[in-house]
């Protein structure tokens, strides 16, 4: 982004870049958690759940792309190494060690709830001060809210099997 584009940002840009990089770490870890979860999933409703996990993985990757682009526009450097994902993440990584569909859903619901909190906080940080980042975060937050809902609906359906 050009000089003027940065001038209209009315927050501490270094602090904003730091927050965006932390979200970038979250998105990569979420991507991998979903992607791997879809590979290992076992149990009732596997096909439906797997489809949703694959779709969410793609959306987390899209979020990573949006965030990296914005960091570069702001004159920052996106995290360059996977080692930094673990160091910077807000929401961590929950390995899909238990491949049961219900366990995977529960892990990923937790992840989405963490993401919702992170983006809510980020929106408050840039509100009225950086319209472009605000707009981007609003879009991402909308997706995370949808993710949580999709997974909770699947978990609910799963819990009703045989009832």
Nearer to Fe ion, 16 or 109 (CB): 109
Residue 103, both tokens: 């366990």
Nearer to Mg ion, 48 or 65 (CB): 48
CA angle 119, 56, 43 (to 5 degrees): 125
Residue 144 interaction partner, one of Mg ion, Fe ion, none, beta carbon < 5-8 Å per kind: Fe ion
Site for Fe ion (CB under 5 A): which residue of 19, 22, 63, 70? 63
| Smallest separation, CB 119 to Mg ion (Å) | 16
- Specify burial of residue 27 (Cβ count, 10 A radius: 0-12, 13-18, 19+): buried
Q: Determine if 60 is a binding residue for Fe ion (CB under 5 A).
A: yes
| Smallest separation, CB 62 to Mg ion (Å) | 12
Site for Mg ion (CB under 5 A): which residue of 26, 27, 130, 150? 150
Can you give 82-118 as a three-state secondary structure string?
A: HHHHHHHCCCCCCCCCCCEHHHHHHHHHHHHHHHHHH
Q: State phi, psi for 100 to the nearest 5 degrees.
A: -65, 135
Measure the CA–CA gap between 56 and 61, rounded to whole angstroms: 9
User: Per-residue x/- mask for Mg ion, residues 92 to 131, rule CB under 5 A?
Assistant: ----------------------------------------
User: What DSSP character marks residue 79?
Assistant: -
Site for Fe ion (CB under 5 A): which residue of 130, 144, 150, 155? 144
Residue 22 interaction partner, one of Fe ion, Mg ion, none, beta carbon < 5-8 Å per kind: none
Interacting residue ranges for Mg ion, rule: CB under 5 A: 150
């Amino acid at each position: 982004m050009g000089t003027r584009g940065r001038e209209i940002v009315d927050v501490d840009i270094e602090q904003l870049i730091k927050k965006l990089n932390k979200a970038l770490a979250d998105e990569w870890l979420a991507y991998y958690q979903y992607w791997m979860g879809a590979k290992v999933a076992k149990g009732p409703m596997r096909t439906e759940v797997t489809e949703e996990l694959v779709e969410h993985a793609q959306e987390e990757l899209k979020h990573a792309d949006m965030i990296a682009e914005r960091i570069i526009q702001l004159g920052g450097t996106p995290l360059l190494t996977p080692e930094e994902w673990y160091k910077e993440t807000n929401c961590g990584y929950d390995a899909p060690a238990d491949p049961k569909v219900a366990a995977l859903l529960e892990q990923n619901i937790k992840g989405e709830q963490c993401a919702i909190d992170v983006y809510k906080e980020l929106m408050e940080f840039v509100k009225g001060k950086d319209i472009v980042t605000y707009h981007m975060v609003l879009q991402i937050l909308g997706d995370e809210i949808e993710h949580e809902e999709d997974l909770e609906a699947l978990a609910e359906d799963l819990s009703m099997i045989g009832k």
